[in-house]
Amino acid sequence: MKSLIETRAGWAAFHGECENGQIGNSIMSDPIELLDALDIPILVLNRDLAVVGFNQAAADVLGLVPSDMGGSARGLSALTGLRNLDDFCSHVIAAGNSSRHDLQYGDQSFVVRIAPFGQSDPTNSGTVLSFANVTAFRASLDRAIYEREYTKAILNAAADPLVVLSADLRVQTANRAFFAYFRVSRETIQNLPFTTLGNRAFDRADLRKQLTEMVAGHSDSQPLEIDHDFPGSGRRTLVLNARPFSLPGSGHLILLSLQDITERRRSEEQIAILAREAEHRAKNVLATVQAMVRLTQSDTAKGLKHAIEGRIQALANVHRLFVESQWMGAEIGSLVTDELAVYSQVGEGHVQIGGPKVLLEPSVAQAIALSLHELATNAAKYGALSAPDGKIHVEWSRPAEGRLLLRWTETGGPAVKPPTRQGFGTRAIESMIRGQLKGDVRLDWRIEGLACEIALPT
C-alpha cells in the first residue's frame, strides 16, 4: 500500500492553490507523499464532513483505515470528543480563520487545529484537521498542579502559622493559620515587608540579620523567641524557625514558622510557682508534724501511736482538698465533712453541719482541720460522741467581710467538767488560731457539753 490516502481527487483544489502560491511545484507535486512524511496526524474533510484524505500518522495515531475514506467524520471514534465538529468546521469555512480545540482520545490528549482550504472553489472546499499530541505536556502540567495543590494542602493543614518570604523579606504566600492568627488576608499582605506585620513585632535587627545571612548561606538560622503585644491578642510569646529553599524562577525563599508558646510559658511559670509553694507547704507540714509528735503525750505506746496517726490523717485529708483545688485552698463544708465522717454520716444522727460556701486559704484550712480533729477526738473520748444520744452541731458564718466565725456545740453527752490541766489539743488549737492566724478561740466547758467558738481573719 503506497499510502492510506486512496483518492487524490479530493486534493485538486488544495494542490492547485499551492501551485499558484509561493510554494514551488517541485515540492508540491505529490502532496500525499509530503503529508505522509509528517509526524503530525492530518485529516482532510470536505464541506459535508466526508473524509477525503489522511496521512500515515493519522492512521497510526488515530486508528484510521482505508475504509474510512469517503465516510462521514461523524462516525470516526477518534473524533467523538469533538461534539460540535459540524459547527466548528462550518465556522472555519465561513470565517476563513482556523480554530483550536482540545480532544481526549483514549489515554492521549490532543490540541486539534481546524483550518479551511479551497475557499477559491467552494465546490472543493473543506477543512484540514491537524492533531498535536500534548499528552506528555498535560501530564507534566497536571503533575505540577497536583504538586502545587498537595503542597498547599499540607501547609494549610499545619496548625502553626507559616509564611514564605522572598530574599528581601517580603511576603510571598502564607497558610490559613497565618491569616487567621494575624487577622489578615492574602491580598492585603502580598509582597509587603514582613517587618510591618503584627504591629511591627518582627521589626528587629537581630531577626533581619539572621534571615539575611541564612539566605546568603553564611549561617544557619536558630530559633528566635519574640514577646510582643499583638493587636486583639494581647501579650504573646512566639518562637520563630526559618529554613531556606529555592524554586525555579523564584530564586531564594524562606519558609518561616511561628509557634505560639504563650500558654506553655504560663504553664511553666505556674508549675514553678506551684513547686515553690509545694516546697513551702511541705516544710510547714513537716514542722507541724514534728511539733505534734514532740508535744503528743499518752500513758501507753499504743495511745501515743493512735494520737499521732489521727493528727497526721487530719493533715492528709486537708491536703487532699488542696490538691483538688490546685492549692487554692479548701472549701470549709468539705473540710468539716471529711473530718467528722469517721464518727457519723453528716446530717444523720450525731452530726449536723451548716453554713455558707467559703474557700479557706491553705494556712487557715490547715489550722481549722487540726482544730476540728482535736475537738472531735475529745468528743469521742469524753464528750457527745461518747454517748448514744450525743450530738455535734457545727456551723459557720461570715459576720463581716474578711472574717469567719465557726461554732462547735456538743449536747446529749456526759456531764462536762472543766479540765484541771490544759491538754495537747487545747494548746494546739490556741497556738494555731491565736499564734499563727491572729484569730481568737473561746472554749466554754458547759455542763451539757463543750462549746467552742473560733473567730478568724480570712
Q: Which neighbouring-strand residues pair with 112?
A: 101, 131
The CATH homologous superfamily of the domain defined by 9-133: PAS domain (3.30.450.20)
Angle of helix 301-324 relative to helix 262-295, nearest 10 degrees?
160
Nearest one of 440, 427, 441, 344 to 386, comparing CA atoms: 344
- pLDDT-based confidence at 395, cuts 50/70/90? very high
Locate 343 and state its grid cell.
Answer: 464518727
- pLDDT-based confidence at 8, cuts 50/70/90? very low
More confident site: 450 or 426: 450
What is the structure's pLDDT at 73? 94
Give 77's DSSP letter: G
What is the structure's pLDDT at 357? 93
Query: Does position 21 have pLDDT exceeding 60, yes or no?
Result: no
Average pLDDT over residues 392-408: 92
CB 256 within 8 A of CB 241: yes
Query: Does position 413 have pLDDT exceeding 50, yes or no?
Result: yes
Q: How many CA atoms lie within 13 A of 84 on its CB side?
A: 9
**155-260 is a CATH 3.30.450.20 domain:** yes
Amino acid residing at 373: H
Amino acid residing at 314: A
Annotate 192-226 with DSSP letters as a single string: -BGGGHHHHTT--HHHHHHHHHHHHTSS----EEE
Residue pLDDT, tens place only, 29-87: 456 677 788 889 999 999 999 999 999 999 999 999 999 999 999 999 999 999 899 99
Average pLDDT over residues 401-422: 89
Within the chain, all domains assigned CATH 3.30.450.20 are found at 9-133, 155-260
Residue pLDDT, tens place only, 335-358: 999 888 887 654 567 889 999 999
Within the chain, all domains assigned CATH 3.30.565.10 are found at 265-457
CB 228 within 8 A of CB 198: yes
What is the structure's pLDDT at 363? 84
Please state whether the predicted TM-score (pTM) of the whole model is above 0.85. Answer: no
Of 59-68, 89-98, 234-243, 324-333, minimum mean pLDDT range = 324-333
Give 67's DSSP letter: G
Give 433's DSSP letter: I
What is the structure's pLDDT at 65? 92
Rama region for 100: left / alpha / beta (φ>0; ψ in -120 to 50; rest): beta
Residue pLDDT, tens place only, 221-240: 789 998 888 877 788 999 99
Residue pLDDT, tens place only, 248-280: 777 889 999 999 999 988 888 888 887 787 777
Of 13-22, 77-86, 187-196, minimum mean pLDDT range = 13-22
- pLDDT-based confidence at 446, cuts 50/70/90? very high
Nearest one of 180, 139, 143, 175 to 158, comparing CA atoms: 175
- pLDDT above 90: percentage of residues in the chain: 39
What CATH number matches the domain at 265-457, 3.40.640.10, 3.30.565.10, 3.40.50.10490, 3.30.70.1560? 3.30.565.10
Query: Does position 292 have pLDDT exceeding 60, yes or no?
Result: yes
Which residues fall within 8 angstroms of residue 59, CB to CB, at 6 or more apart? Answer: 4, 65
Average pLDDT over residues 372-379: 90
What is the structure's pLDDT at 164? 92
Amino acid residing at 30: D
CB 45 within 8 A of CB 73: yes
H/E stretch holding 127 reads strand 126-133
Query: Does position 17 have pLDDT exceeding 70, yes or no?
Result: no
Query: Does position 103 have pLDDT exceeding 80, yes or no?
Result: yes
Reduced to 3 states (helix: H, G, I; strand: E, B; else coil), residue 52 is: strand
Residue carrying the nine cell digits 505560639 = 260
Average pLDDT over residues 317-321: 79
Query: Does position 404 have pLDDT exceeding 90, yes or no?
Result: yes
Q: Which neighbouring-strand residues pair with 102?
A: 111
Q: Which neighbouring-strand residues pair with 89?
A: none
Tell me the C-alpha distance between 419 and 13, whole Å. Answer: 138
Nearest one of 222, 21, 267 to 31, comparing CA atoms: 21
CB 386 within 8 A of CB 377: no
